[in-house]
Amino acid sequence: MLNNQIINWYSKNKRDLPWRKTKDPYLIWISEIMLQQTRVATAIDYYNRFIERFPTLSCLAKAKEQEVLNLWQGLGYYSRARNLHYAAKTVQQEYDGVFPATYKEIIQLKGIGTYTAAAISSFAFNLPHAVLDGNVFRVLSRLFGIETPIDTTIGKKLFQKLANETLADASPEIYNQAIIEFGALQCTPKSPDCENCPLLANCYAYSNQMIEILPKKSKQIRLKDRYFYYLFLYCPDRFAIEKREGKDIWQNMYQYPLIESATPLKNEQLIESRKWKNYLNDCNAVIKFQSKPIIHKLSHQNIHACFLHIEINKNFSSKNKNVFFIKNEDMDKYPFPKLIENHLSRLK
Ligand code: SF4
């Protein structure tokens, strides 16, 4: 049986990961949210720090959002942290702090989709819900030679049905862990280790030279370009920041005063802009240093960032009411996106 072969492979090859040593649905949930869009090696440190600070769901529910974002700083996709915090409060209020034990209830929580609900249901409660993530799509499409694009409704239904059938009577907890690990370590996107694969004899993609083209996707993601000009307003012991508001990337995190454009801007255009005048009160600011553009890649957009260092008088206060100054030694109290965090590290 296919699932026995994968489970057998898993028992010999699985990594020793901290979230695999628990059945606590709260801890499994934290790990699964962190592992979305984040490499395992990176997630381990964040996971350990997070559960040390918030060892239980009620600790997380009682925390301030800013502190949760602070701990998430550098991981990216910050809506994950905001949703975790929101959902923890929901469980605290609606389930008396006890994590719900059914797929139907789990999937109602904010930030939890079909994959995460299946993962928590099976890993914590051993419920028979087959997981379907990028690893599972890849393994199944190669093994069975399925060319239906995985990003279509019909493709998702087809693969979910196949994943459920493959799970069959195996232990949901072990089988789900096993097929994810198999995709992550053995049947990798590039250069899968076919020569040492226990499924080689039954693999359609291997027999038909289709490994490179499976799984298939129907569309290419079109990346949007955004141009960020950060005004690093500083005097020796302080610098200016503002909170990002609105429904956009990095919501509720902090940044330097920002002028954004859909196209590249020259310095004359920046200085003439309404936002520049608003931030700098029409004063004759001198740009002391200007970084080369840095391209910061996100899943659907490329941020072209440039940092302009502008020394200001220590009595300066911006007429933009969102801007405020913090002391250099207080910078760790504020959650910053990776782009700003990297800039601050370079300054340190
Ligand atoms: S033979 Fe290669 S492509 Fe097929 S399942 Fe094994 S590792 Fe993946």
Span 5-29, average pLDDT = 97
CA angle 45, 247, 329 (to 5 degrees): 50
pTM of the entire predicted model: 0.83
Mark residue 149 as left, alpha or beta (left: phi above 0; alpha: psi -120 to 50; beta: remaining).
beta
β-partners of residue 294 are 305
Q: Which two tokens stand for residue 171?
A: 């232990």
Span 90-113, average pLDDT = 98
Cα dihedral 337/340/341/343 (nearest 10): 160
Contact 63, 71 (CB under 8 A): no
User: Which domains, and CATH codes, for the chain?
Assistant: 2-213 (1.10.340.30), 224-347 (3.90.79.10)
Residue among 182, 200, 209 to mutate when testing ligand 1 (max atoms within 8 A of CB): 200
Active site residue 52: no
Give φ, ψ of 310 to 5 degrees.
-130, 115
Q: Which two tokens stand for residue 277?
A: 């005048």
Q: Which two tokens stand for residue 264?
A: 């590249």
The average confidence (pLDDT) of the chain is 94
pLDDT, one tens digit per residue, over 46-60 is 999 999 999 999 999
Set 32, 105, 181, 260: catalytic member: 32
For residue 305, the one-letter residue type is A
C-alpha distances (whole Å) from 311 to each of 131, 159, 277 are: 53, 57, 15
- Residue 86's pLDDT is what? 98
- pLDDT exceeds cutoff 80 at 220: no
Express as a percent the part of the chain with pLDDT over 70: 100
Express as a percent the part of the chain with pLDDT over 90: 89
- Residue 199's pLDDT is what? 96
Contact 154, 148 (CB under 8 A): yes
- Residue 347's pLDDT is what? 86
Burial of 348 (0-12, 13-18, 19+ CB in 10 A): exposed
- Residue 8's pLDDT is what? 96
Span 141-166, average pLDDT = 96
Q: CA–CA separation, 348 vs 342, rounded Å?
A: 10
Minimum CA distance residue for ligand 1 atom 8: 187
pLDDT, one tens digit per residue, over 232-270 is 999 999 999 999 988 899 999 999 999 999 999 999 999
- Centre of ligand 1 from the C-alpha of residue 20, in Å: 25
Please give the distance of CA 199 from its chain centroid, rounded to a whole number: 32
- Residue 169's pLDDT is what? 84
**Residue among 274, 222, 288, 279 nearest 255 (CA):** 279
- Residue 210's pLDDT is what? 95
**Is residue 215 in contact with ligand 1, taking CB distance under 6 Å?**
no
- Residue 348's pLDDT is what? 78
Instruction: Compare 283 and 317 and report the one with higher pLDDT.
Output: 317
**Is residue 210 in contact with ligand 1, taking CB distance under 6 Å?**
no
- pLDDT exceeds cutoff 80 at 119: yes
**Residue among 105, 137, 94, 81 nearest 25 (CA):** 105
Cα dihedral 91/78/35/301 (nearest 10): 140
Q: Is 346 helix (H, G, I), strand (E, B) or coil?
A: helix
- pLDDT exceeds cutoff 80 at 273: yes
**Is residue 186 in contact with ligand 1, taking CB distance under 6 Å?**
yes
β 301-311/224-235 pair status:
parallel
Minimum CA distance residue for ligand 1 atom 4: 203
Q: CA–CA separation, 121 vs 100, rounded Å?
A: 9
Question: CA 150, 153, 154, 159 torsion: positive or negative?
Answer: positive
Please give the distance of CA 80 from its chain centroid, rounded to a whole number: 7
pLDDT, one tens digit per residue, over 56-86 is 999 999 999 999 999 999 998 999 999 999 9
- Residue 314's pLDDT is what? 82
